[in-house]
Amino acid sequence: MKKYAPALADILYRQKVLSQKDAQALAKDFVQGDPAQLNYFLLDEGLVTKHDLLKALAQYYQVPFFDVRGYQFNHDLLAFFPQELLVRNAMAPIEFDGAILTVVAGQPDVPELREMLRAYVTYHIEFRVGITRDIVDEIRAYYEAPPNAEEIEQEEDEDDSTDIVDVF
């Protein structure tokens, strides 16, 4: 895979988010940098919107993107994994359909991620890409204030409720 900064800068240029001059400067200045730091720089300096960055990340990693801000994590999925593992690797399970576990990660191309997850589950794993700091912040916030048992029961009751209609 190409070096991260030049490849991402090129994608942002081709998507008309950055000028050619800005893309070249970015590629040069961050050529040896950490991908997450480049993403933070782009967002913090207002050079790109979150949506533009997510679209570029999806193209770079060749997986769909997922914005975790405000996402209500499924407590049953999070219970499979230690908080420290998720935070350290900036990843979080977001969906399970019975056979496939979908996980959002800041760097979904890290080869060890799949094996780390398989230490806890045997499902087929698919990745989405997200903003690293958003993933870490949301995971930490969830574990600091997980839903209480009453909220969980209420959510389950709402999901199971059906309208009953009497027919005469």
Residue 132: which CATH number? Answer: 3.30.300.160
Domain that holds residue 48: 4-61
Same domain, 94 and 56: no
Same domain, 81 and 143: yes
Asked if residue 114 belongs to a domain, the reply is yes
Name the 3-class secondary structure at 29.
helix
Asked if residue 68 belongs to a domain, the reply is no
Distances in whole angstroms, Cα of residue 140 to Cα of each of 12, 22, 88, 89, 91: 30, 34, 11, 13, 11
Asked if residue 70 belongs to a domain, the reply is no
Residue 133: Cβ-neighbour burial (10 angstroms; 0-12, 13-18, 19+): middle
Same domain, 19 and 42: yes
pTM of the prediction? 0.82
Asked if residue 164 belongs to a domain, the reply is no
Same domain, 88 and 38: no
Model pLDDT for residues 119-151, shown as the tens digit of each residue: 999 999 999 999 999 999 999 988 887 665 455
- Domain total in the chain: 2
Model pLDDT for residues 70-119, shown as the tens digit of each residue: 898 888 899 899 999 999 999 999 999 988 999 999 999 999 999 999 99
Asked if residue 66 belongs to a domain, the reply is no
Same domain, 18 and 82: no
**Predicted local confidence at residue 142, as pLDDT:** 87
Same domain, 29 and 85: no
Asked if residue 160 belongs to a domain, the reply is no
